[in-house]
Structure 1
Amino acid sequence: MQSSASLLQRQKQSMVASPQLIESIRLLQLSHTELHQYLGQEIAKNPLLELASNDDGASGQDSSMSGEDSQIDMREKDFAKPISAGTPERLTQSKATRNTANAPSGEGNAVDNFAAFTETLHDHVALQIALTPFTSQQRLIAGQLAAHLEETGYLRVSLSELAGSLNVREGDVERVLATMQHFDPPGLFARTLSECLEIQLRQRDRFDPAMAALVANLQTLARRDYQALKQLCGVDEEDLLDMLHEIRALDPKPGNQFQTGVLESVMPEVWVTPCPGGGWQIELDPNTLPKLLINQTYYAEVSRATAQNSKDQAFLNQCLENANWLIRSLDQRAKTILKVATEIVRQQEAFLEHGIAHLRPLNLRTVADAINVHESTVSRVTSNKYMLTPRGVFELKYFFTVAIASCEGGDAHSAESVRHLIKAIIAAESLQEVLSDDDIAARLMETGIHVARRTVTKYREAMNIPSSIQRRRERRLWLNGDQGLKAS
């Protein structure tokens, strides 16, 4: 069989993502801070771009490009009625509290109240070092110890290694450390949890032999083995109860009360406010919408100057094309965020009105199908974006939760609302009726929620709630004192 070479021509269709399409997709998932950093880089590269201040208008200026591409409507009018009370205040707050914050409701919610400067732990320690009568060598050691202080207030460094690196005796380091362990707040510069508690108890003059035994057996305390603790500490039930109250009053991470470095703030990109006549108004925060302008005056001047230079003219035209594309992309990004947020509000209106128990199960596909976009687009839009609601500030991803089946064939329940119900059921327990996970599953079944015992266990453990045996033992201790301990 002979082989021969031949030349064939075939037609084939394929989708290839252009660089500009890839950049448009990337713009969707950028947070507010990341977006401003990105635009700063683009402005540095493109001489035609300018970032307008919030007071600048896009129309009526010789240097700006007017038209639909540079203007967007920040309100979703199909789902909300305009309100006449003015726009809500911008809210900036710590991420750690975004799910428990209250919506702004008066003069007391100014931005400064949320983002005010706070002294850092290392600032606080440096001031105390400066006020302590150290020798020059001791001050050098103190500075090195402070440099190894973690944000929680613990010291994570080998004293022998530190002494070797400073060419001093280890005893000198230990003496400086002993002084710094008296710094405020109590518990700083401890190397273990036991030492942290010991420092605080010593400053309260409460570190007696019984308390020393309790601090030395924190693992036994974590297991809530109170009978063993009574024997180890050599105390009766009443004394042990008092000791445990004192332990609970201590701070296991004394450094956490200070701001750690630069404040990481959350600026909600979406505002949701109730309308006086019913419904919800959804708006984009104008402070999170960068206003890019094209300096047409500069473009005309440079274009005339480079009319005879084809290379320079090509570069200028490319800059204009990129600037127009970026403004259109920002416009599309804002509209997409608004569409996704509006559909989330439509789906979770019961949550906004009645609270977490009414949070509905929701997935990305449901929102994507409703607004006719791809599921991945919704995923990118909800990444690192936040919504200010009357119930607090929430990440957009918070509203997406899996479904728990209903016993009666009705609407499914969201996993988040089920966790909330489990927590509420446990909080309502009495000492005489501490519920097992099977009992909790049965209670949920009575309310129409079908959930297995192992699911209850998984949710309970995720919320750091002890088992029924541990809760019963602890409640007997705290509520009934010594009689409860004897009964256990």
Structure 2
Amino acid sequence: MQMDVRAGQRQTQTQTQTLSPRLQHAVRLLQMSSLDFGTVVRDVLGRNPFLETEEADDEDGRQDTQDTVIDDPFDGPEPPQPLAHETVDEVPGRASETDRDLWLADSFAPARSAHNGDVSALDFMAAHTSLSMHLHAQLNTLTLSERDLALAGAVVESLDDDGYLRTPLDELLGVVGVQPTASLPEMQIALKMVQSLDPAGVGARDVAECLALQLADIECPQVRAMAREIVGHHLGELAARDVMALSRALGHSPGEVERVCDRIRRLDPRPGWRWSPSRTGYIVPDVIVKKDRGNWSVLLNAAIVPKVRVNEVYAQLFQRHRCANNADNADMSAHLQEARWTQRNVEQRFSTILDVAQAIVRRQRHFFEYGAMAMKPLGLREIADEVGIHESTVSRVTNNKYMATPSGVFELKHFFSRAMVSANGKACSGTAIRGLVQDIIEAESPEQPLSDAEITRQLARQGLTVARRTVTKYRQMLKIDAVDRRRRHGPAQTAH
């Protein structure tokens, strides 16, 4: 008799949920910002023949009438001809033929270049001046030999965007194409020449040298000498705002040292950034909150909603062709499915965003009425239960989505915070406590700032039991320095 024993083996059944690739893609799209989502939709719109914008009909209508009617801004009744003693400019409302030609040429050919004395609209655009252009323009005004100008130009071209020279001078010797080969003392002279240009501090090899090059602008000799000592030998204490250590090292009172440190902090540690192209990060709100007759209304920002739809004419033609020929084009079928799915995704995405935003406004009505101090505790589950969606969906909807309100533009996540119970048993949100911490710090004395522990005790006296580490976290979220860095010694005076 044989027994088949399989030790340690057991059959179990488990139920797991697997997201389809299309559902995973929808989840990723829901978490995107509206700008990124619009980019994805435009990409699909450009490669999918079944997808079109809703303005297509209007454009077609304008195209049909363009053959018979030309929208010319100068069309209309013929203006009166000027008299013999009048010039064209003296006749009100009349544009000269030259102005008319330039207007039309610039309207239909924006890339047109100016030639033969003509003026293009592009000629009136502001041109960006880079740091190297600014420095080369100054070098060209100096009386320099071709060799010296080439050496100084090599230093300028080796500067980083912030104005620092991080390439060793000996490495530049082989780059400069002069004969005979430049020597290291010549390169040092060229560097000194560049460092004498505007802006002050350009061409420095480190922060200490950059600040030292700017100290000549300090008028007071005593302040300048003390600043030179601090920049040259005590830069670490300056960065740590350790006024007492500087006072002991320099032999001056903390008040004098603090005034000199304030003067040093007004210097520019990155002088080249003034000529860097400005990069402005824009936030486009997804929803707009307005108050109308005492009620708060929430509207979608129409500018960020992609206006796409499925071209039903093309879809019907494809369906007829497939049925008539009894054949299925897999690629075209996939495009049609993608077009319908994209249209539904756009509608569902912004409908969900609007529902969540409306639920937030209903829950946080007091915030819109009275400000951050009236913010109520709010969790994802409350909004999920009210809207009828999952918590994870609310989390994705509120990620990278913004709401424009009369008080400013806020991310939707700004309105969520856990409840903190006060001494009288009422719940208070973390946003309201952060507002209290900021108000307490703004009201403190510059000579005697409050530590996080003292702020905690003040909150406790107001009935809010908050841990000291929580106050520290809130202060850091508000980007407020610690107590040692906020302390000022003596009355504030201006050091020249």
Fold equivalence (TM over 0.5): yes
Map of 2:30 onto structure 1: 28
Q: 1:439 to 1:251 in 2, by over 3 A?
A: same
Of the three residues 392, 399, 402, the one matched with 2:408 is: 392
How far apart in 2 are the matches of 1:159 and 1:361? 60
**Cα deviation code 1:74-119 (max 9, x no counterpart):** xxxxxxxxxxxxxxxxxxxxxxxxxxxxxxxxxxxxxxxxxxx997
CA contact (8 A) 1:46 1:319 kept: yes
Unaligned runs of 5+ in 1: 5-9, 62-116, 482-488
**2:130 paired with 1:123:** yes
Map of 1:149 onto structure 2: 161
Partner SS, residue 489 of structure 2: helix
**Cα deviation code 1:11-37 (max 9, x no counterpart):** 996543223222222221121221122
Of the three residues 32, 39, 42, the one matched with 2:41 is: 39
Partner SS, residue 386 of structure 2: helix
Of the three residues 138, 151, 171, the one matched with 1:138 is: 151
Partner SS, residue 252 of structure 1: coil
**2:429 paired with 1:427:** no
2:346 maps to a residue whose letter is: L
CA contact (8 A) 1:119 1:258 kept: no
For residues 318-329 of structure 1, the aligned pairs below 5 Å read 318-329=334-345
CA drift at 1:299: 4.1
CA contact (8 A) 2:452 2:471 kept: yes
Question: Please, which moves more after superposition, 280-289 or 460-469?
Answer: 460-469
TM-score, normalized by length of structure 2? 0.70
For residues 410-421 of structure 1, the aligned pairs below 5 Å read 410-414=426-430, 416-421=431-436
Aligned-pair identity in percent equals 35
**2:451 paired with 1:445:** no
Partner SS, residue 49 of structure 2: coil
CA contact (8 A) 1:154 1:188 kept: yes
Map of 2:105 onto structure 1: none
1:190 maps to a residue whose letter is: A
What do you get for the CA RMSD once the two structures are aligned? Answer: 3.9
For residues 292-311 of structure 1, the aligned pairs below 5 Å read 292-300=308-316
How far apart in 1 are the matches of 2:28 and 2:454? 48
Map of 1:409 onto structure 2: 425
TM-score, normalized by length of structure 1? 0.71
Unaligned runs of 5+ in 2: 6-11, 63-124
Q: 1:241 to 1:456 in 2, by over 3 A?
A: closer
Partner SS, residue 158 of structure 2: helix
Map of 2:208 onto structure 1: 194
How far apart in 2 are the matches of 1:376 and 1:163? 60
1:409 maps to a residue whose letter is: G
Map of 2:399 onto structure 1: 383
CA contact (8 A) 1:213 1:232 kept: no
Of the three residues 330, 355, 362, the one matched with 1:346 is: 362
**2:466 paired with 1:459:** no
Partner SS, residue 459 of structure 1: helix
How far apart in 1 are the matches of 2:275 and 2:367? 34
CA contact (8 A) 1:119 1:259 kept: no
Q: 1:346 to 1:125 in 2, by over 3 A?
A: farther
CA drift at 1:337: 0.8
Partner SS, residue 476 of structure 1: coil
**Cα deviation code 1:21-72 (max 9, x no counterpart):** 222222211212211221233223321112345x9679999xxxxxxxxxxx
**Cα deviation code 1:369-395 (max 9, x no counterpart):** 221211111121122211111111122
Partner SS, residue 427 of structure 2: coil
**2:263 paired with 1:250:** no
How far apart in 2 are the matches of 1:29 and 1:316? 29
How far apart in 1 are the matches of 2:185 and 2:439? 54
Question: Please, which moves more after superposition, 432-441 or 387-396?
Answer: 432-441
How far apart in 2 are the matches of 1:174 and 1:403? 63
Max Rg structure = 2
1:393 maps to a residue whose letter is: V
The alignment of Structure 1 onto Structure 2 pairs a total of residues equal to 414
Q: 1:138 to 1:212 in 2, by over 3 A?
A: same
